[in-house]
Amino acid sequence: MHVLGSKGRNGFTLVELIVTVTVLAIIVAIATPSILTQLTRMEAKRVKTQLQNTLALAKAESYITRQDVLVCLSNNGRRCNRNADETLLAFVDTNDNKRFDARVDTLLIQEQLNLKYSTLKLRVGSRRHYTKFWGDSGKPRGHFGHIKYCPTSSYNESMYQISFNQAGIVKYKLNSDHPTDC
């Protein structure tokens, strides 16, 4: 008894394989822009939440502990830089040198931003590289401004600003209402 006759096969023909690969390539080509657009939107929302939560924490912590709390962007986890976009820091600047010193200052939060589709830019008065929430009021008087979320990918259209005013109120502002000039 022959299970497979002389015409039986054990695999795909070259034509079947080429057709299958071609169909998969077309599906991937159609789906890729949608997937990338969704990934960039998810990143924009995640970063927005990180920024808002960190600013709210800094405001509350400065008011509760009656100490000045700095919030800044950093690339190395210590030195604040207004154009950095790797790490978000919030810390009590005990020695008042405007940068995080692990042996002296109290670190409240250090979050890796893991940006793939954008950059961040901190814009605070007097070209500062940080914002300070004052311990006597919990407000960033003289240190108000915004953090811009600027896309680097053609799939990312999510431009916005996270603003903080002199009263310490944190607001999310869409690019359509408040152009980011990214």
Q: What is the 3-state secondary structure (H, E, C) of 30-79?
A: HHHHHHHHHHHHHHHHHHHHHHHHHHHHHHHHHHHHCCCEEEEEECCCCC
Question: What's the Cα-to-Cα distance from 78 to each of 67, 93, 163, rounded to whole Å?
Answer: 19, 12, 23
Render pLDDT for 80-91 as a digit per residue (tens, 0 to 9). 998 888 999 999
Q: Is the pLDDT of residue 3 over 80?
A: no
Q: Does residue 19 lie in a domain region?
A: yes
Taken in order 84, 126, 67, 50, the sign of the CA dihedral is: negative
Taken in order 61, 63, 65, 69, the sign of the CA dihedral is: positive
Judged by average pLDDT, the poorest of 5-14, 19-28, 138-147 is 5-14
Q: Does residue 123 lie in a domain region?
A: yes
CATH number for the domain that contains residue 64: 3.55.40.10
Q: Which residue has the higher pLDDT, 10 or 135?
A: 135
Q: What is the distance between the alpha carbons of residues 126 and 142, in angstroms, rounded to a whole number?
A: 9
- Provide the pLDDT for residue 141: 79
Mean pLDDT: which of 25-34, 55-64, 78-87, 117-126 is highest? 55-64
Q: Does residue 137 lie in a domain region?
A: yes
Mean pLDDT of all residues in 89-106: 91
Q: Does residue 107 lie in a domain region?
A: yes
Mean pLDDT of all residues in 121-140: 88
What is the average pLDDT value for the chain, to the nearest integer? 87
Q: Is the pLDDT of residue 6 over 70?
A: no
Q: Is the pLDDT of residue 9 over 70?
A: no
Q: Is the pLDDT of residue 1 over 70?
A: no
Instruction: Show the CA angle centred on residue 109, arms to residues 55 and 36, nearest 5°.
Output: 75
Q: Does residue 34 lie in a domain region?
A: yes
Identify the domain containing residue 75 by its residue range.
Answer: 14-174
Task: Give 7's pLDDT tier (boundaries 50, 70, 90).
Answer: low
Q: What is the distance between the alpha carbons of residues 107 and 89, in angstroms, rounded to a whole number?
A: 8
Q: What is the distance between the alpha carbons of residues 123 and 143, in angstroms, rounded to a whole number?
A: 10
Q: Does residue 3 lie in a domain region?
A: no
Q: Is the pLDDT of residue 38 over 90?
A: no
- Provide the pLDDT for residue 158: 83
Q: Which residue has the higher pLDDT, 32 or 113?
A: 113
Q: What is the distance between the alpha carbons of residues 97 and 132, in angstroms, rounded to a whole number?
A: 12
Q: What is the distance between the alpha carbons of residues 45 and 156, in angstroms, rounded to a whole number?
A: 12
Q: What is the distance between the alpha carbons of residues 105 and 102, in angstroms, rounded to a whole number?
A: 6
Task: Give the residue among 143, 120, 123 at the shortest CA–CA distance from 47.
Answer: 120
Q: Does residue 1 lie in a domain region?
A: no
Mean pLDDT of all residues in 14-26: 92
Q: Is the pLDDT of residue 135 over 60?
A: yes
**Per the structure, how many domains does the chain have?**
1
Q: Does residue 5 lie in a domain region?
A: no
- Provide the pLDDT for residue 37: 84
